Each structure stands twice: as structure tokens, then as C-alpha cells.
Amino acid sequence: MVRNASKKAAGSAGADDRTWHATPEAKSKAKTYRIIALVLWALSIAAELGGIFGLLLNKGILEASTSVDDRGVLVADEKFPTWAFVTLIGLLVVMAILTIIGSQLWKKAQELDPPSSANGISFFLKSQLGAIIPLIAFVPIIVLIFLNKDMSKQQKGWAGGVGVVLALVAVALGVNYDPPSIEKYTAEKQAVVQLLGEDKVYWAGGGEVYHVCANVPDLSKSAVTSGTTAEAVADGKPRLTLKLESELKACQRAVPNNIDEIVDAIRRVQQGEVTEQVLPSPDWTGVANAPSGDALDELNDVLDEARKDDGSE
């Protein structure tokens, strides 16, 4: 049995449906994730400032000590206290935890409600903010650790080393290696409409992809949900499967002659090799039961206009 997640009739299309849009539920969830991420990042930077001004630059916490110089003379001095060193290590760990959790929430929000890749700089900053924030949080305090004249060499080595390792881990986990975009999701939606005649897909609890057929092995042992591509993304399924030919056959749907070309184009869009959201039109020459419908007719008109604007016709 297939549960329908759509709140409107399947296949209904309008002017606003030409480009992929996140559902209101996905937008709301993404906003919540972003707010929590920003709060966690703010706390991390606050911890950084506390470590800098409360420990590293605070001469008032230094403890009196004595040492013997190279001439054998007893010299009075001040040293960085052990409790401050332990506290500094603790702050670095807390900063890492806060930035990493914030970065994961930010990436999840971008998956639910991605930005457009039309503006490259804006898209990069929004997509990679989870890797930028750890640099802001860690670089200043690490530099000041190594430049601190009150810490012993051993303290500098340990605190600086821990800071560098934690910073690298936080940055690596914060990088969005496959950032989603409206253009990527639009290309996949277009593929679904062109192949099926409507924006209707299927998915289950496990995995990260949605399907064009409910009767496929990947869904055979799960409760299947149907809905639009936007509803699939909102339910945690951000990508269209690339097993299009076998799935179309499983549901006894028409398979275009150039299905391999379409799959390759989708793969390149998913991998970020191209940013075009206009996919090759299916070649239905001699293919029985080719899809039709208002959604397909409208989409074909939009694609024709897009190709003319791009100068491809």
C-alpha cells in the first residue's frame, strides 16, 4: 500500500510549479535548523573570546614562579597556571562540539531548502558556512596560543596541537562536499515530469533517494510513500534514483530511446559538474505509451523557452 503525502491532486501544475520549490514544512524545519546552528556557532565564538580575553591575554591569572637561568641565578617570574591550561583545553573541545553540531544542522537545512547557484559567491558562502565558521572560531585562538609568552613550551605544544586537530576535524565535517541547489532539484523534477507526465515519485524510510516506481526491489520491504519531488526532499530524500530504466520497466512505463543520455545528464547535475537545469528531452520516437498530460505540455513549453534563451536552438 502506498501512502500519499501530497496535499494537492497529483499532476496538478501551475506557473509556480515550473521551478522546484521547498514545501512550507521543509522551509519551516530548515529555518529552525539554521537558527539553532547560528546560536551554537555564537556560543562557540563566545567560548573563543572567553579563552582569549579570560585566559591568554589576562595577566591577572598568572602565578608567581622561580627558575634558575643559564648562569645559575635564581630568577622570579610568572607562569601560566595549570588550571588555566586545563580550562583552555576544555574550551577548545567545547568549541569543536558546538561548531560541528551547528555545521551538521546547517547542512541539513541547506538540503531541505537549498539556495540558488545562480550567484556563485553567494551560493558558496551559504553552502560552505559550516566550514567557514570553524575557521573563524579556531584560527585566532590558535595563533594566540602559539604567540603566548607566558605559557611553557609544553603547554603551547599541547594546547596548540589540540586546537589544530580539532579545527581540522570541525572544518572537514563542516564542508558540504555535494551542496544542493534549486537548480539541481529542478533538473530532477523536470526529469520526473518528462518521464512520467506528472511530478509524482515514491520513497520509503531508508535510503536517500526517491523513485519513479513503487514496485521496485528497493521499496519492496518498506512502507511506501508517494508525493511530489519537493515532498520527497522534505522527508529526507534529496536525490532522484539513477536506476530510471529498470524502474520504468518495473512499472510497465514507456522508456525513451535516449534514457542513458538523460541519466548521464542527471548524474552530472547531481555531482555538480554542470549547473544547467534543462535536461535532454526524451526521445519517444516509436515508443508506445509515451507520457502526456498538462504538466508535460507546460514543461515542454518552458524547456523550449529556456533553450531559446540559452541560444541552444
Q: What is the pLDDT of residues 82-99, one digit of tens each?
A: 999 999 999 999 999 999
Provide the pLDDT for residue 198.
87
Phi-psi domain of 254 (left: phi exceeds 0; alpha: psi -120 through 50; beta: other)? beta
| Contact indicator for 25, 32 with CB cutoff of 8 Å | no
Poorest-confidence range of 13-27, 94-108, 112-126? 13-27
Provide the pLDDT for residue 308.
56
* Mean per-residue pLDDT, 207-211: 91
What lies within 8 Å, CB to CB, of 111 at 6+ separation is 180, 233, 238
pLDDT band at 273 (very low <50, low <70, confident <90, very high): confident
| Contact indicator for 181, 21 with CB cutoff of 8 Å | no
| Contact indicator for 192, 253 with CB cutoff of 8 Å | no
Mode of pairing for the β-strands spanning 239-240 and 209-210: parallel
Provide the pLDDT for residue 106.
98
Residue 17 in this model has a pLDDT that exceeds 70? no
Provide the pLDDT for residue 93.
98
Write down the mean pLDDT value for the chain: 87
Provide the pLDDT for residue 11.
38
Cell matching residue 14: 501551475
Cα torsion 135, 126, 233, 211: sign: negative
* Mean per-residue pLDDT, 3-15: 50
**Exposure string over 201-210, b if 16+ CB within 10 A, otherwise e:** bbbbeeeebb
Residue 207 in this model has a pLDDT that exceeds 90? no
Cell matching residue 301: 513549453
Residue 234 in this model has a pLDDT that exceeds 90? yes
Alpha-carbon distance of 229 to 277, in angstroms, equals: 15
* Mean per-residue pLDDT, 183-204: 91
* Mean per-residue pLDDT, 262-274: 87
Residue 10 in this model has a pLDDT that exceeds 60? no
Provide the pLDDT for residue 289.
82
pLDDT band at 237 (very low <50, low <70, confident <90, very high): very high
pLDDT digits (tens, 9 = 90+) for 118-167: 899 999 999 999 999 999 999 999 999 999 999 999 999 999 999 999 99
| Contact indicator for 251, 233 with CB cutoff of 8 Å | no
pLDDT band at 63 (very low <50, low <70, confident <90, very high): confident
Provide the pLDDT for residue 174.
97
Alpha-carbon distance of 138 to 161, in angstroms, equals: 12
Alpha-carbon distance of 189 to 17, in angstroms, equals: 10
